[in-house]
Structure 1
Amino acid sequence: MNPFATVDDLTILWRPLKEDEKERARKLLEIVSDSLREEAEKVGRDLDAMIAEKPSYFANVVKSVTVDIVARTLMTSTDQEPMTQTTESALGYSVSGSYLVPGGGLFIKNSELSRLGLKKQRFGVIDFYGND
């Protein structure tokens, strides 16, 4: 199956890629697309069928989500800890920081799944006391 976005889409919607990033981006686009298909399957949906059935704007939403996930993954450093913020001190020996992706690896946010219609709020009632 084809990825939902291309390296050209990534370049247009995010930023120009360096040569060494392009091959990694190609693979990530495939992996992210398949991961989104898997997430859809978990809730009984077929993302490719949804794209075919819905108006053309839905394909752009799927492309946008795919690009967002790949861009976030590409921003994660592969040669050092991916810190977004660090604080250092001297004589008190203090270092602290925030990680870009805690635990590393690829992750898909719930908000991204919601954009695709794969996560919805649920409501219900639990009757603790039963019926008399």
Structure 2
Amino acid sequence: MLHGSSWSPTEKKIARSVFDAALQSELAELIAQVRETAATLSTPDELWDLQELLSRRRREISDKYDYGYPRLELLFVWLLRERRIALAQLQGLKPERLARIESLLAQALCDEERGAGAGQDDPAPR
């Protein structure tokens, strides 16, 4: 279980900064995608497809970026896997917390290489 120790004020500041930067980056990518798509809209069906994309992505992003300390370690593993953050950004977290994140990341990458869950999208960390 990832309950781990409590987060120190320094760790909370680092975690919030990394979390906010990753969220803003993902939202900026979505905005760019929407602008590109909107510029080429020519039919009502394309408009509704865009609306559907936005609704789906809103749910995905909202579920993924649920800021709660019990879930942050898993979220950081997820974001590392997606290359949305770098391990260096997490420097300053307690060594045992970093070790747990690195271990979970290694396990996740190993599972990916073995094809675990092939053909399925992983759910957002909870």
TM exceeding 0.5: no
RCO (CA 8 Å, sep 6+): is it higher in 1 or 2?
Answer: 2
